[in-house]
Chain A
Amino acid sequence: MNAFMKKLKSSLGGLAMPLVALGVLILFNLIRCAVIGDFHFFAVSVASDDKGSVLSGNIISIIDSASVLAIIAMGMTLVTAACGGQDISVGAVGAIAGAFFVIMMHPQHEAQLSTLSSVAWPNVILGVLAAIIVAVVFMLFNGMLVAYFKIQPMIATLILFSCGRSIAYYFLFQVLGVGSIKLDDPIIFAMGKVIPGVPIPTSIFIVILMGLLMYLVFKRTNLRLYTQAVGINQKAAQLNGINPTVVKLLSFVMLGVCVAVAAIVKCSNLGTLTTKSLMDSIEMDAILAVAIGGNNLGGGKFRLGGSILGAYTIQTLSTTLNAMQVSPDSMKAYKAIVIIVIMVAGSPVVRKWLVTQSGRIRTAIRSPQVKEAK
Chain B
Amino acid sequence: MTAMQPDLKKKKRFERLTDAQLLTIISGGIFLLMYGAALLLIEAFRKPQVFFDITNYYSYLIIIACSLTVVMIGGGINISVGGVICLTCMVCSIFLNNCGIENQTLLVLATFVIAIGIGAIFGAFQGALISYLEIQPFIITLGGMFLARGLTTILSGGENVPVSETNPFTLWINNAAIKIPALGTTRVRKGQVYVNPATLHWVTIIAVVVVIGIYLVMRFTKFGRNTYAIGGNTQSSQMLGINVKLTRFNTYLLSGVLSGLAGFVFMMFNGAGGKTGIGLRSEMDAIAASIIGGTLLSGGVGNVIGSFFGAIILGTLQKIIWFSGLQEAYWQDMANGVMLGIFIVMQSVVLSVRGKGKMHLPEWLKYSKKNR
Contacts and interface: CB of A to CB of B under 8 A. Distances in A.
Is there a contact between chains A and B in the complex with CB atoms less than 8 Å apart?
yes
Interface of A: 86, 88, 145, 148-152, 154-156, 158-167, 169-170, 284, 287-288, 291, 297-298, 327, 329-337, 339-340, 343-344, 347-350
Interface of B: 77, 129, 132-136, 138-140, 142-147, 149-151, 153-154, 158, 276, 284, 287-288, 291, 297-298, 329-334, 336-338, 340-341, 344-345, 348-349, 357-359
B142 A330 contact: no
A166 B326 CA distance: 13
B138 A149 contact: no
A161 B284 contact: yes
A336 B288 CA distance: 25
Secondary structure of the A contact surface, majority rule: helix
A149 B359 contact: yes
A195 B232 CA distance: 55
Nearest to A337: B147
A155 B344 contact: yes
B134 A333 contact: no
Contacts of A284: 142, 145
B334 A163 contact: yes
Nearest to B333: A166
A87 to B, nearest CB: 13
Contact of A159 (B135, B146, B341): B341
5 contacts: A158-B340, A329-B153, A330-B151, A335-B146, A336-B146
B337 A155 contact: no
B158 A158 contact: no
Given A162-B340, A170-B330, A151 B348 contact: yes
Contacts of B135: 343-344, 347
A180 to B, nearest CB: 14
A86 B332 CA distance: 25
A324 to B, nearest CB: 14
Contacts of A297: 136, 138-139
B345 A333 contact: no
Contacts of A151: 344-345, 348
Contacts of A334: 150
B288 A162 contact: yes
B134 A347 contact: yes
A288 B135 CA distance: 13
A230 to B, nearest CB: 14
Contacts of A155: 287, 291, 297, 344
A334 to B, nearest CB: 7
Contacts of B132: 349
Contact of A86 (B138, B153, B345): B138
A167 B147 contact: no
Nearest to A338: B143
Nearest to B154: A330
Nearest to A86: B138
A159 B150 contact: no
A350 B134 CA distance: 9
A330 B150 contact: yes
A332 B150 CA distance: 5
A291 B158 contact: no
Given A151-B344, A169-B330, 8 more contacts: A151-B345, A154-B138, A155-B344, A159-B341, A333-B149, A336-B143, A343-B135, A344-B129
A165 B337 CA distance: 11
Residue from B153, B284, B331, B332 whose CB has the most chain A CB atoms within 10 Å: B153
Nearest to B132: A349
Nearest to B348: A149
Contacts of A145: 341, 344-345
B333 A344 contact: no
A158 B134 contact: no
A340 B140 contact: yes
A336 B331 CA distance: 34
B151 to A, nearest CB: 5
Nearest to B144: A336
7 cross-chain pairs, A with B, having the tightest CB-CB distances, nearest first: A333-B150, A163-B337, A332-B150, A166-B330, A336-B146, A336-B147, A166-B333
Contact of B149 (A86, A148, A162, A332): A332
Contacts of A291: 136, 139
Given A149-B348, A288-B142, A159 B340 contact: yes
Contacts of B332: 166
Nearest to A152: B297
B71 to A, nearest CB: 14
Contact of B357 (A150, A333, A348): A150
Residue from B139, B153, B276, B287 whose CB has the most chain A CB atoms within 10 Å: B139
B122 to A, nearest CB: 11
Residue from A166, A327, A334, A335 whose CB has the most chain B CB atoms within 10 Å: A166
Given A149-B344, A169-B330, A349 B133 contact: yes
A329 B148 CA distance: 11
B140 to A, nearest CB: 7
Nearest to B290: A155
B151 A159 contact: no
B344 A329 contact: no
Residue from B136, B143, B297, B334 whose CB has the most chain A CB atoms within 10 Å: B143
B139 A343 contact: yes
